[in-house]
Chains A and B, each alone.
Chain A
Amino acid sequence: MLTKRIIPCLDIKDGRTVKGINFVDLRDAGDPVELAALYAEKGADELVFLDISATEEKRKTLADLVYRIGERINIPFTVGGGISSVEDVDILLKNGADKVSINSSAVKNPQLINDLVAKFGSQCIVVAIDAKEIEGEWKVHLVGGKVPTDVELFEWAKEVEERGAGEILFTSMDHDGTKNGFANKALRRLSQEVNIPVIASGGAGNMKHFLDTFVDGQADAALAASVFHFKEIEIKDLKEYLEHEDIPMRL
């Protein structure tokens, strides 16, 4: 049976891992390559690296870091942050990334999704969507969740699927950093409206939250950062707990 995936996310700034509380207050949580190797060893199913400085500072590539990560780890990893062209993706994939995630650049230029899919295939194109519920409507936000748009989450998700993306990484800005659980209602609707895998992100605080997002949110994978970085949850314990609760896991 296909298992549900547990994905630690490493936010990268200046070559170091950081995790923002609501993306603003940054704390240092170590060296990305070492942390990646440690997570792979402890049973992480996949890793995501997001260069959170990239969109603001227009920094183009993480090529060297990606190369060092690829050399070391034997599980899939996705790289995102500031990717806005076919060339950006080409460099990251050539250096060993398995997938890339695009976010703001896809909203600004949706054709980018088609171009990337045509050149590299759906399997390596993840579209990350940051959204926030405003007066009952989920609106897509840009630049690490700072800039609101008029784009509606579910319509955008469907468009993203039609344009050929392989996966959606959905972060609820209302939940991110709160440790109160994932946005399961929105996740469930997303999962029902699109037929590509959906990764839940934002809000993980305890092990029950992961169970809830797989059951109530129907997520295919769950991503979290600080609960792993600060050892509030051990991946091994989490996966054993979920397996015990009848969620298919790779142990």
Chain B
Amino acid sequence: MKIVIIDYGAGNIQSIKFAIRRLGYEATLSDNPEEIKQAGRVIFPGVGEASSAMAKLRASGLDRLIPQLTQPVLGICLGMQLMCKGSEEGNTKGLDIFDVDVVKFPESVKVPQIGWNEISNLKSGLFTSITENSHIYLVHSYYAPTCEDTIAVSEYALLYSAALGKDNFYGTQFHPEKSSSVGAQILKNFLEL
């Protein structure tokens, strides 16, 4: 099975490649629409700022391609956020896959949230063999509020979506590639959905 990590110049993808390799698979980096369409699994990474990342997607036409994909797609961190309707960060429109707007954490907590938090209300094949209240690693200043597409929640000042899912699209606010054995299992679940 071909696994493609979408390459649009947004962030650190080496650690995702390493994590996939540790599971016994190999991932290819690509910005080629045909290669992405034909992949068995697509991973949509992203770190950095939302509006500039969206601008990069638009420049390459990937903003139109991604929502049309039919194989399982996993957005990670900013990747997940860009799959939402829009983001308060840079006041940008998103890919409009998940019906929710991304907003900033309140000042009552330290921003960014950095570290290990718990996930609960797990509702997807993505979380097969994962126990409620497992710890995952996150780094983010913006969050997707809970909504119909929420498949895992976490709490930081308030309850927010730790993961989203709709049809063949999945998104995790956390970094499965950096979340120890729990994250490895989640990535494995995605690859073996």
Contacts and interface: CB of A to CB of B under 8 A. Distances in A.
B111 A1 contact: no
A123 B105 CA distance: 14
B38 interface: no
A5 B115 contact: yes
A166 B116 contact: no
Interface string B1-42: 000000000011011001101100000000000000000000
A120 B116 contact: no
Given A74-B22, A94-B14, A98-B15, A196 B178 contact: no
A131 to B, nearest CB: 20
Contacts of B177: 74
B184 interface: yes
Contact of B116 (A71, A93, A98, A250): A250
Interface residues of A, number: 33
Contacts of A97: 12
Q: For chain B, what secondary structure do more than half of its interface residues adopt (helix, strand, loop), or is it mixed? A: mixed
Interface string B44-63: 00011100000000000000
A121 B48 contact: yes
Interface residues of B, number: 36
B64 interface: no
Nearest to A196: B110
A11 interface: no
A233 B112 CA distance: 30
A2 interface: yes
Contacts of A85: none
Contact of B49 (A46, A96, A121, A124): A121
A122 interface: yes
A156 to B, nearest CB: 18
Interface in A52-95: 67, 70-71, 74-76, 93-95
B184 A74 contact: yes
Contact of A195 (B15, B111, B178): B111
Given A74-B184, A93-B14, A98-B178, 7 more contacts: A2-B113, A2-B115, A70-B18, A98-B12, A120-B47, A121-B49, A124-B139
25 contacts: A1-B117, A1-B155, A5-B115, A70-B14, A70-B18, A71-B18, A74-B183, A75-B137, A75-B178, A75-B180, A76-B178, A98-B12, A98-B15, A98-B178, A120-B11, A120-B47, A122-B112, A123-B47, A123-B139, A124-B12, A166-B112, A195-B110, A196-B112, A221-B115, A250-B135
Interface of B: 11-12, 14-15, 18-19, 21-22, 47-49, 107, 110-118, 135, 137, 139-141, 155-156, 175, 177-181, 183-184
